[in-house]
Each structure stands twice: as structure tokens, then as C-alpha cells.
Amino acid sequence: MLNKVVIMGRLTKDPELRYTQSGTPVAAFTLAVERDYSDQDGEKQVDFIDCIAWRNTAEFLSKYFSKGRMVVAAGRLQVRYWEDSQGKNRKIVEVVAENVYFGDSKKDTDSSGGYQSRYSNYGASLPGSNTGYSELGGEAGEIDDELPF
């Protein structure tokens, strides 16, 4: 069987780096991915896809990527089920990113050092963000804007 996903989109907010109780790094992030077609009004439709990265990939992502950056994520699709605090059964579909790549270049920044994206206002209230990760703890890591190349 094959479970392989490759998506390209813009980060809706900075990746959230956390650590499990055993110290394993994990980063949650959401990508705004445009569909290939437009609606009747000529506007592109957008899907907001929840993703997660573990270990070195999580640390790399949180160190070199920030809100608005174009990201290529390659990995697998995962479906998780859990019971929330009210006893309701919940389900989330997410991409487990095994590899992440730059989808844009540093020169694509605007004059203030940020990235222009019409999707960068999304993310704070996306469904599934930080949901079901009760085993995660710790504070978000520092974001370093300097790239080694």
C-alpha cells in the first residue's frame, strides 16, 4: 500500500514547536494551499491543511520558516481519533511531514522583512490546531531569521 503526500502552500502562522514528555521535538503548522481552479467569481479556492513534523524536521521547520513562507511538505496522511474533554469523539486528518523544503526564496520578502500572503491572517482559529496533543508540553522555540546559506 502507498500513503505519500506532497503539498505546497503558505504557512498561516509560525510553526509551533513543542516537546513531548520524553523530549521529542514536534511542530504543528497549517498550510494554505490554493486549488488549481477558480470559482464562478474568478477567485481561487483555498484549503487549509493541518500538518505535523517530528524530531529534526520539526526543529528545522521552526528555525527557518515563518508565517507567510511558501513550504513544500512531503510525507504521509494520518487520521487520528480521540475523545475531547466533553466526551465527544473527535477526528483529525493531517499530513505528517517527513521532509520540508523552501518553496520560495529569501529574496521574496517585502521591505519589512516579512512575507506577503493573503492567507497570513488565517490560522489562529483553524479547526484542529493544538487539538488532541495533550501529551505535548513546553514553550514554543525561538525563531532564528538567519539562514546558514
pLDDT exceeds 90 at position 62 = yes
CA distance linking residue 102 with residue 65, whole number of Å = 8
pLDDT for 49 beyond 80: yes
CA distance 107 to 45: 27
Domains of the chain: 5-137 (2.40.50.140)
Strand (E) positions, 39-123? 44-54, 70-83, 89-102
To the question of pTM greater than 0.75 for the whole model, the response is no
Q: Residue 137 has what pLDDT?
A: 36
- What pLDDT is recorded for position 105? 75
